[in-house]
Structure 1
Amino acid sequence: MSVSQSMRAVRITGHGGPEVLEVAEVPVPVPRTGEVLVQVGAVALNNTDLWTRQGAYGRPGDPQALSGWRGPVDFPRIQGADVAGRVVAVGPRVAESVLGRRVVVDPALYDSEGPDAHPVGLMGSERDGGYAEYVTSPVERAHDVTGSALTDDQLATLPTAYGTALGMIERGRLRQGETALVSGASGGVGLALVQLARARGARVLALSSGPKIDAVRAAGAHAVVDRSGNVAEQIRAAAPDGVDVALDVVAGELVQEGLPLLREGGRWVVAGALGGYDVAFDVRRIYLHNAQVIGSSMHTPAHFDLLMGMARRAEVQPVVAATYPLEQAARAQEELARRGHVGKIVLHP
């Protein structure tokens, strides 16, 4: 297949507001040994795009430091972790049989080779991502979804949001018949948690507010708690026997309020801090009840394999809230930051 020499891409030139996103004409990346070149069909936005652009991740011992996901960002950096597209070229030592395959790219950079490896970097942060017409990927991270009934837009929503959600569910050992509490349930990860926990056979109790409540219920929540009211009281009423697993992307005061609502041996899984990262709680609520607080960052290769199996069988139906052309990435990020939507925002290169 013939591939042009240059492409349009959107990259950040430093940390800052939407103004640091620039549309540029750049060389098409050349796949190295063991890599493929993917023509991007769709790329989904995530909160991590905003936080990487803002430098909002902090560093160990210095929470206010401007930093990317795992440290300093090498500018200029093409953003975008979530890519669905087609393989159009291969690097050395990659079989040509993968050419033309429809793929979803696992955006994680892992610390080792095994199925339980930890993500220590992310496409769009630690390496160039998919806000572009083309992106390279290690061949083992380009998962074949050629036969999936899902659209490219839907497939692009999966890697970060659904990968993070499935990682939380797996690390929290959520089982059929258990009660799961999902915070931030109308967001990308939150809606994925509702769908995946429901698919696992859990009873899903979701936190949301206002006009988004109906959409969260439609995604599969058995009960919705309105976070504008007394949250702890509503959770107690909806789950009088307590919560088995909290799947939390909000943190902040919710951790303090919610820990006493866990059942014996309950698990509180945290994968975000939308409500604040500086948390105080009564440690007796953990050790007296054999509870666990579990940190969860993205997914492992094994989790991603599970997710891609679900994608091939179209076992989840991701919600696409809006689509934009690549050149309007700044506008799309501003809409993401307003949090007025339900589902995922997708760019079309």
Structure 2
Amino acid sequence: MDTKQAVPGEMRAVLLTGFGGIDKLSYREDVPVPTPKEGEVLVRVGACGMNNTDINLRTRWYDRDVNESLSEEVGLKGAGASNKKDAETSGTWKEETIVFPRIQGAAVVGTIAAVGGGVDASRIGQRVIIDPQVRDLALPERAQLVAYLGGERDGGFAEYTAVPAENAYVVNSSLSDAELATFPTSYDTAEEMLVRARLGNGETVVITGAAGGVGTALVQLSLIRGATVIAIAGAAKEERLKFLGAHHFIARENPNPREAIEKLVGERSVHVVADVVGGPFFTDSLKLLCRGGRYSTAGAIGGPIQSIDLRDLIYKDLELFGITCPTPETFKSVIDHVASGRLKPIIEKTYQLKDLAQAQSELVKRNHVGKLVVVP
């Protein structure tokens, strides 16, 4: 470490001790504060947003042996594969080995407290928002992800975290740290989904899981593009999503959402489906799309294994996009939207770090709109 302010030797953090249920989260007050390596900065965490990624990794839902939806029971107890006695330690979408204990938390906002070698000391004191994706820019654009904050390296469910200096973006905003922590992971994922799908002015987009972190981001970013938004979410969330700007609402409980959407816009009249749920609606979503329509997905908590009628894909000349690694340009565009005030942070509730297990228990109930945020 080249330069630093007064930084304690130990910190409070929640350690993920292995794959499984909520009991795998251990709150500690004696965790060593990380030392920033060459090219890194040490960030004093102001807030860290919660994401499905945290649940997916802990429960080992990413494992290819797991075919079930990310239900509340799975979120609390772990997926089937996580309970195998001979389970290996690979458990990310990258099928990388996870080293335990691991500090989760990808959506970090805070202040630079120290810098490692090669980083200008003037960065100390900067308020920053963290791009959670550590990339190798020498690789092809869609294959640059080498580590994810809270997955392959420690994240923000702690008082301090170390990240590459280029991942720490200076942010000038009157929003609180908790409000700013709603944007990383959710909004860059949503922006990448829409960039890849080329959603344009006057087009119609169907958004599944519209009440969650990525879903509410998709609603706002679609409206910025001048699109007509059809939001799908739990019936109790209709009023809040329409207040956010969604033009139409379809209750998740509707036994035939495809039919309901066709009554609104007609058959084969949807230009883009932005899907963060997966599940049985996947098959219908392709049938809703017009010729040349685009399907973009970044989640499958409703069930990852679904059927496809290839005639929809072939004879309507559809495009399908899978989103895992938003580009740095996408992250920068989100920061620009935040700085300009075009995006509204949506916080359902904030939790103290020591209450992370309770917060994750609430997250998997899916009763919230927007984000749950943890503050140290």
For residues 230-249 of structure 1, the C-alpha deviation after alignment (integer angstroms, 9 at most, x for no partner) is 20111111222611010001
How high is the TM-score relative to the length of structure 2?
Answer: 0.89
Q: Does 1:326 align with 2:353?
A: yes
Name the counterpart of 1:68: 92
SS at structure 1 position matched to 2:184: helix
Question: Where does 1:155-170 land on structure 2 (aligned, <5 Å)?
Answer: 155-170=180-195
The DSSP-based 3-state class of the residue aligned with 2:185 is helix
1: CA distance between counterparts of 2:350 and 2:252?
28
- Counterpart amino acid of residue 139 in structure 1: A
1:108 and 2:133 equivalent? yes
Distance 2:213 2:334 in 1: 15
Name the counterpart of 2:22: 18
Correspondence for 1:37 among 34, 38, 42: 42
CA, structure 1 residues 158+227, in 2 after alignment: closer, same or farther (shift >3 Å)?
same
2:351/2:359 contact within 8 Å kept:
yes
1:62 Cα shift? 7.6
Question: Where does residue 70 of structure 2 map in the other structure?
Answer: none
Q: Which runs of 5+ in 1 are unaligned?
A: none
2:94 aligned partner, one-letter code: R
Match of 2:77 in 1: none
Structure 2 CA distance for aligned equivalents of residues 20 and 62 of structure 1: 19
Query: CA 1:113 to 1:309, structure 2 compared with 1: closer, same or farther past 3 Å?
Result: farther
Note the alpha carbon deviations across 1:33-63, whole angstroms, 9 max, x for none: 111110000001111111111111014x886
Q: Distance in 2 between matches of 1:62 and 1:83?
A: 29
Quote the Cα distance in structure 1 between the aligned partners of 2:98 and 2:290.
41
Of residues 54, 58, 75, the one that matches 2:59 is 54
Separation in structure 2 between the aligned mates of residue 8 and residue 309 of structure 1, nearest angstrom: 32
Residue number in structure 2 paired with 1:27:
32
Alignment map for 1:98-137 (pairs within 5 Å): 98-113=123-138, 116=141, 118-137=144-163
Deviations 1:144-198 (A, max 9, x none): 00x2122211111111111111110111111111111100101111111111111
Aligned residues: 347
- Contact persistence 1:163–1:298 (CA under 8 A): no
Q: Deviation string for 1:281-334 (max 9, x for gaps)? A: 211111111111211114111111111111222220110110111000000000
Q: What secondary structure does 2:186 align onto?
A: helix
Note the C-alpha offset of 1:278: 1.0
Correspondence for 2:209 among 184, 202, 208: 184
Counterpart residue number, 2:314: 287
Query: 2:134·2:167 contact (CA, 8 Å) conserved in 1?
Result: no
Instruction: Verify the 8 A CA contact 1:44 1:347 in the aligned structure 2.
Output: yes
Matched residues in 2 for 1:114 and 1:281: separation? 31
How far 1:227 moved relative to its partner? 2.2
Q: Which amino acid aligns with 1:31?
A: P
Q: Cα gap change, 1:62/1:185 in structure 2, threshold over 3 Å: closer, same or farther?
A: closer
Can you list the C-alpha shifts for 1:65-106, whole angstroms capped at 9, x where unaligned? 542342231100001001000011111111112111110010
Asked if structure 1 preserves the Cα contact closer than 8 Å seen for 2:19 and 2:60, the reply is: yes
CA RMSD of aligned residues (A): 1.6
Contact kept? 1:44, 1:83, Cα under 8 Å: yes
Any idea what SS the aligned residue of 1:275 has? coil
4+ residue segments displaced more than 3 Å: 61-66, 113-118
Secondary structure, aligned partner of 1:338: coil
Contact 2:223 2:229 in 1 (8 A): yes
Q: What is the CA–CA distance in structure 2 between the aligned matches of 1:115 and 1:86, rounded to whole Å?
A: 32
In the alignment, the residues of structure 1 paired with residue 150 and residue 235 of structure 2 have an alpha-carbon distance, to the nearest angstrom, of 33
**1:80 and 1:124 in contact (8 A); partners too:** yes
1:154 counterpart SS class:
helix
Distance in 2 (alpha carbons) for counterparts of 1:221 and 1:270: 19
Residue aligning to 1:89? 114
| SS across alignment from 2:274 | strand
Structure-2 residue corresponding to 1:260? 287
Matched residue, 2:275: 248
Q: What amino acid is the match of 2:223?
A: R
Identity %: 43
Secondary structure in structure 1 of the residue aligned to 2:337: helix
Q: Is the 8 A contact 2:41 2:164 kept in 1?
A: yes
Q: 5+ residue gaps in structure 2? A: 68-79, 83-90
SS in 1 for 2:112: strand
Q: Is the 8 A contact 2:12 2:159 kept in 1?
A: yes
Q: Distance in 1 between matches of 2:321 and 2:191?
A: 14
Structure 2 residue 15 is the aligned partner of structure 1 residue 7: no
**2:373 alignment partner in structure 1:** 346
| Rounded Cα–Cα distance in structure 1 between residues aligned with 2:132 and 2:245 | 27
Quick check: 1:278 aligned with 2:305? Answer: yes
Q: What is the Cα deviation at residue 206 of structure 1?
A: 0.7
2:134–2:164 Cα contact (<8 Å) kept: no
Q: Distance in 2 between matches of 1:69 and 1:283?
A: 25
